[in-house]
Chain A
Amino acid sequence: MSAKNQRIAVAKTYKIYIGGKFPRTESGRYFALEDKKGNVIANVCRGSRKDFRNAVVAARKAQSGWATASAYLRGQVLYRIAEMLEGRREQFVTELVLQGATQRAAEKEIDQSIDRLIYFAGWTDKYQQIFSAVNPVSSSHFNFSVLEPTGVVSMLAPEDSSLLGLISNIAPAIAGGNSCIVLASESKPLCAISFAEVLHASDVPGGVVNILTGFRAELTEYFASHMDVNAVIYCDGGKAVARTVQVLAAENIKRVIARNRLDWDSDAENPYLIRDTQEVKTTWHPIGS
């Protein structure tokens, strides 16, 4: 083809996702993502503490509205995410391959990711019935226990399973009415940002899911220590990470959820993942005798 007729592809700028918007990191920093041959695929935002704090503000603001949306609506929104992801299937396959997956593995991962969203979409109006209770107290009171979302959840997503693992953490948290701030896989961040674009097109209210890219070693402490975060989930952290996260999380008695060595293919479809970021509330009222 002659140079005259060659069309230059338009490369995407990968930005972070905070409060339903796609800003660049406020820090102005980046890191270059390279393919196996050493070619630069993208300059990825190297998110900062300030980005994280902005994301927490957005997540907090969005959380109560999302929690009070009906279970049916949350289910439909999760289903809608799956619909949007299905439509962009090829893009995700391309990105997964670009980040080192084989074509076959990439296709499997996107298919499972879509199905996982459907799976949790179906749980939104059911987990409550599985885990709540009417308690037969001895006194003349009506007493019942229901689940309520823990609140704002920070997540350090799995490093290897950059799409399926990411979705397997986000979906149960938001199915249960939480909002979240997620740090994407450091070495494979592309799908996370493209997934943010999917979320953006799926009626997920801004701020319910916030996705940052950057260095895990730098940002872990902020994800664990922020005083307005109610729970922290970390995936595949070693002993040192477990220690750091739990020590910092203790400052405001955060719930700490470790998802180590989880097989994202087979271990991540159950309602206990939803329950991880739920609180049990028990209510009493006299019934007379």
Chain B
Amino acid sequence: MATPENKLAFDGGWEYDPAPESTDHINVAKRYGLFINGEFVSPENGRYFDTINPATEEKLSRVADASEADVDKAVRAAREAYRTTWGRMKAAERGKYIFRIARIMQERAREFSVIESLDGGKPIRESRDVDIPLAAAHFFYYAGWADKLEYAFPGRTAKSLGVAGQIIPWNFPLLMASWKIAPALACGNTVVLKPAETTPLTALKLAEVIADAGLPPGVVNIVTGAGKAGAAIVEHPDVDKVAFTGSTNVGRGIQKALAGSNKKYTLELGGKAANIVFADAAIDQAVEGIVNGIFFNQGHVCCAGSRLLVQESVADEVIEKLKDRMETLIVGDPLDKNTDIGAINSRMQLEKIQSYLKVGKAEGAEMHQSSCRVPKSGYWCRPTIFTGVSQSNRVVQEEIFGPVLAIQTFRRYDEALIKANNTPYGLSGGIWTDKGSKIFKMTQNIRAGVVWANTFNKFDPTSPFGGYKESGVGREGGLHGLDAYVKLGA
């Protein structure tokens, strides 16, 4: 039934029954070692840490806390594998191994989805329909490149680099692992990968897949741990390439740490994308795009549409419709198939988001949150919008990485462009209009690596992804993503 709070009444006045995905089919060990040289081994210092379910704060497993010595062991294993097996293998055979990984991931997709949602807090609908299928597709896509690299770089020969050190974030744990590992392997490199501290489980399950696929030992090594383990990878003298996805601050530190070394690097960093809605847009679709842009994956998305720029003449209408739509969003159990917004990934991240809510209000912006219930335990944040913000507000300039949208208005397209481009970031952007020429005018002038027109937050293995300006260096995905893992010779 429609109420003043719930005008869209998707639930028809009925309560949704819980519809949780089952967990009896998954297999999570009590404790995981480090995956080095084809087997799980204990960390040198014997230290482990808990990985918890952010929706319940319950412990899921314990994982090894890699030290510098462990990272060194992993790099040596990767080097040895590069030298003796992977680096010498016929490219087509290399490709077949990577195809195998894709196939096994598809077979185990349901298990991966559930573990991803348990460990990271994202709704099962997203891990099931987005993360895991895309991760498998990434391996499938790059597998086929392995023996075709000569066609990717006209006039040049592409050679592998050696050992790639890769550090990934917690927002798309398995998908980021596949973005990093698949192209590295296809180009003939071996890998040392460190998953994020709060979401190590699917990477460790991927280690099982890699072992099942029969890859030679040492080709992929997975070391769990915190920032120190990441730093050890970056600084290891026998690593030839560093690939990092994470915050701009850490990326900056990595670029500095690599100064003077000959290591190649790619950085995929923060963002503060503008989602620009023109008066002539299909408003209902644009509202869906705004919701998808900022509330997808709890807003833990570097390319999230975290700023809405809406043309003044339709601003009231869009904001009202957005608020109505926000009321329909279900925040809660990530494993429930009806859940729209899952748990915030960690207590630390929740505190960061909450501090931004305070900052936004202190800066004079008006905050609105949906009235939904949230569970008692676990980490939750209701969908939130700020109106009455100005360009210099911190909630407009800084990446919050949560379900928090800052809304500004504009009159002319050039004002929208100036506002859209006025942050240090340049990862993504969105345009909503029914006019083709306007789409091109805007998409050409937004300084960002990915621009969605009349859509948002779409990803594909064939589609290059990466930022302008302080959002990073290099591209991942597609033909252009190969470049990060080869050296080009005449």
Q: Provide the A152-165 mask, 1 if CB < 8 A to any CB of B, else 0.
A: 00000000000000
Interface flag for A104 (CB, 8 Å): no
Assess whether A286 is in contact with B267, with CB atoms less than 8 Å apart.
no
Interface flag for A101 (CB, 8 Å): no
Q: Which residue of A lies closest to B468 (CB)?
A: A279
Assess whether A253 is in contact with B472, with CB atoms less than 8 Å apart.
yes
Q: Which residue of A lies closest to B465 (CB)?
A: A282
Interface flag for A145 (CB, 8 Å): yes
Interface flag for A130 (CB, 8 Å): yes
Assess whether A252 is in contact with B469, with CB atoms less than 8 Å apart.
yes
Q: Which residue of A lies closest to B251 (CB)?
A: A253
Q: Complex formed: what's the CA distance from A249 to B460 in Å?
A: 31
Of A34-42, A185-193, A214-222, A239-247, the one with at least 4 CB within 8 A of chain B: A239-247
Q: Complex formed: what's the CA distance from A230 to B426 in Å?
A: 12
Assess whether B255 is in contact with A246, with CB atoms less than 8 Å apart.
yes
A280 partner, pick from B267, B424, B464, beta carbons under 8 A: B464
Assess whether A135 is in contact with B255, with CB atoms less than 8 Å apart.
no
Q: A282-B465, A285-B439 are in contact. Are A253 and B450 (CB under 8 A)?
A: no
Q: Complex formed: what's the CA distance from A252 to B270 in Å?
A: 12
Interface flag for A80 (CB, 8 Å): no
Assess whether B269 is in contact with A253, with CB atoms less than 8 Å apart.
yes
Q: Which residue of A lies closest to B155 (CB)?
A: A270
Residue numbers in B under 8 Å from A251 (CB-CB): 252
B488 partner, pick from A242, A272, A284, beta carbons under 8 A: A272
Q: Provide the B128-155 mask, 1 if CB < 8 A to any CB of A, else 0.
A: 0000000001000000000000000011
Q: Which residue of A lies closest to B450 (CB)?
A: A282
Q: Which residues, 460 to 485 on B, are CB-close (under 8 Å) to A?
A: 460, 462-466, 468-473, 475, 478-480
Residue numbers in A under 8 Å from B473 (CB-CB): 253, 255
Q: How many residues of B contact A (CB 8 A)?
A: 46
Task: Determine chain A's interface SS by DSSP, over half rule.
Answer: mixed
Q: Which range contains the number of A residues in contact with the other chain? A: 35 or more
Interface flag for A137 (CB, 8 Å): yes
Residue numbers in A under 8 Å from B259 (CB-CB): 242-247, 250
Q: Complex formed: what's the CA distance from A284 to B428 in Å?
A: 11
Assess whether B464 is in contact with A282, with CB atoms less than 8 Å apart.
yes
Interface flag for B458 (CB, 8 Å): yes
Q: A135-B460, A239-B260 are in contact. Are A281 and B448 (CB under 8 A)?
A: yes
Q: Complex formed: what's the CA distance from A246 to B455 in Å?
A: 37
CB distance from B201 to the nearest CB of A (A): 27
Residue numbers in A under 8 Å from B154 (CB-CB): 130
Q: Complex formed: what's the CA distance from A267 to B489 in Å?
A: 11
Q: A133-B478, A270-B155 are in contact. Are A283 and B464 (CB under 8 A)?
A: no
Assess whether A145 is in contact with B455, with CB atoms less than 8 Å apart.
no
Q: Which residues, 22 to 68 on A, are CB-close (under 8 Å) to B?
A: none
Assess whether B458 is in contact with A284, with CB atoms less than 8 Å apart.
yes
Assess whether B452 is in contact with A253, with CB atoms less than 8 Å apart.
no
Q: Complex formed: what's the CA distance from A281 to B427 in Å?
A: 10
Interface flag for B373 (CB, 8 Å): no
Assess whether A281 is in contact with B458, with CB atoms less than 8 Å apart.
no
Q: A249-B255, A250-B256 are in contact. Are A282 and B458 (CB under 8 A)?
A: no
Assess whether B463 is in contact with A143, with CB atoms less than 8 Å apart.
yes
B466 partner, pick from A133, A271, A280, beta carbons under 8 A: A280
Q: Provide the A210-243 mask, 1 if CB < 8 A to any CB of B, else 0.
A: 0000000000000000000010000000011011
Assess whether A137 is in contact with B260, with CB atoms less than 8 Å apart.
no
Residue numbers in B under 8 Å from A137 (CB-CB): 458, 460, 462-463
Residue numbers in A under 8 Å from B463 (CB-CB): 135, 137, 143, 145, 282, 284
The 5 A-B residue pairs with the shortest CB-CB distance in the complex, in nearest-first order: A243-B260, A246-B259, A250-B255, A137-B460, A135-B462
Footprint of B on A, CB under 8 Å? Answer: 130, 133, 135-139, 141, 143, 145, 148, 150, 230, 239-240, 242-247, 249-253, 255, 267, 270-272, 279-286
- 6 A–B contact pairs at CB < 8 A? A133-B479, A244-B259, A255-B473, A284-B453, A284-B455, A286-B455
5 other A-B residue contacts (CB within 8 Å) besides A133-B478, A245-B259: A272-B488, A282-B465, A283-B450, A285-B454, A286-B455
Footprint of A on B, CB under 8 Å? Answer: 137, 154-156, 248, 251-253, 255-256, 258-260, 267, 269, 424, 439, 443-444, 448-455, 458, 460, 462-466, 468-473, 475, 478-480, 488, 490
